[in-house]
């Protein structure tokens, strides 16, 4: 005779709640690991210093290598938004506010968030898979055996490059998005370039630029720290490398959205 407990354990409800509990436990574990490595990273910066050669190499990776895909994503997003907004605003008599709307949208949100997503997809996944491969092939263990702190050696240049280069990438991508937004507005609604770029500066303040820079630096450091942490704690061979890369991308996306909400609440509400 099947008891209620046995029947319940076979049910879909039980499996869903079990999976949810497992995901929550994994989330808390990941947060703890990232926080632990972050504190250890800060300590190692003061103890070990910064390798300029390695930092330069990682900055090139974070900035120059990621620029094409970042410009593509931010630019296409700007074109899509401008093509849908411009016609309606012209019909409603708001043609002279199209540039203002697009500039504020791109500087405050689209430039930083879409660049963060692009960097996560290209650079974050690369960092996670790189460190995960080093972990499963015992290269990180070898670094520790040699007496070198693996967190300081591997994390410092990667995290700092994310903090330094992401604001620069976001500035270039945002400017590119504003320009393409003007082209799209002219193409789809006939709005003159002069009207677009004249209105672009009406509601843009230095506060918007500084918040965007601070937000993008936070995004870059978070992406690098999460990706390196997921790769650092990988296990289980090739499957573990794949899981670490997937986890790094997913948690980085979630972190970007959470940080974006925090910045919007602190500075714009």
Domain ranges of the chain: 51-268
Q: How many CB atoms lie within 10 A of CB 158?
A: 26
Q: What is the mean pLDDT of the chain?
A: 87
How would residue 9 be classed by pLDDT, with cut points 50, 70 and 90? low
d(CA 168, CA 152): 24
Closest CA to 122 of 261, 254, 252: 252
Q: What is the pLDDT of residues 233-261, one digit of tens each?
A: 888 888 889 989 998 999 999 999 999 99
pLDDT above 70 covers a percentage of the chain that reads 95
pTM across the whole model = 0.88
Write the CB contacts of 260 (distance below 8 Å, at least 6 apart in sequence). Answer: 109, 112, 113, 215
d(CA 119, CA 227): 11
pLDDT at 151: 87
pLDDT at residue 17 is higher than 80 = no
Determine whether 101 is exposed, middle or buried from the number of CB atoms within 10 Å of its CB (0-12, 13-18, 19+).
buried
pLDDT at 158: 92
Q: What is the pLDDT of residues 127-171, one digit of tens each?
A: 999 999 999 998 998 988 888 888 888 899 999 999 999 999 999
pLDDT at residue 54 is higher than 90 = no
Q: Which of 3-17, 77-91, 170-184 has the highest mean pLDDT?
A: 170-184
Buried b (16+ CB within 10 A) or exposed e, 224-261: bbbbbbbbbbbeeeeebbebbbebbbebbbebbeebbe
pLDDT at residue 26 is higher than 90 = no
């Amino acid at each position: 005779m099947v008891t209620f407990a046995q029947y319940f354990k076979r049910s879909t409800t039980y499996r869903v709640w079990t999976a949810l509990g497992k995901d929550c436990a994994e989330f808390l574990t990941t947060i703890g690991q990232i926080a632990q490595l972050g504190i250890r990273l800060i300590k190692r910066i003061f103890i070990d210093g910064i390798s300029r050669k390695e930092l330069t190499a990682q900055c090139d990776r974070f900035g120059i290598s990621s620029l094409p895909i970042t410009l593509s994503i931010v630019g296409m997003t700007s074109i899509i938004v401008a093509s849908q907004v411009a016609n309606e605003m012209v019909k409603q008599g708001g043609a002279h506010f199209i540039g203002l709307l697009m500039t504020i949208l791109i500087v405050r949100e689209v430039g930083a968030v879409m660049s963060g997503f692009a960097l996560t997809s290209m650079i974050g996944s690369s960092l996670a898979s790189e460190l995960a491969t080093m972990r499963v092939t015992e290269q990180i263990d070898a670094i520790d055996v040699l007496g070198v702190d693996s967190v300081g050696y591997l994390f410092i240049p990667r995290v700092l490059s994310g903090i330094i280069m992401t604001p620069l990438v976001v500035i270039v991508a945002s400017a590119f998005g504003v320009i393409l937004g003007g082209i799209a507005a002219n193409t789809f609604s006939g709005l003159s370039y002069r009207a677009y770029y004249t209105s672009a500066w009406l509601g843009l303040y230095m506060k918007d630029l500084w918040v965007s820079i601070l937000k993008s630096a936070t995004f870059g450091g978070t992406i690098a720290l999460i990706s390196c942490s997921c790769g650092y704690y990988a296990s289980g061979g090739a499957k573990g490398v794949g899981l670490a890369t997937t986890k790094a991308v997913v948690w980085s996306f979630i972190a970007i959205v959470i940080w974006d909400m925090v910045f919007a609440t602190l500075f714009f509400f």
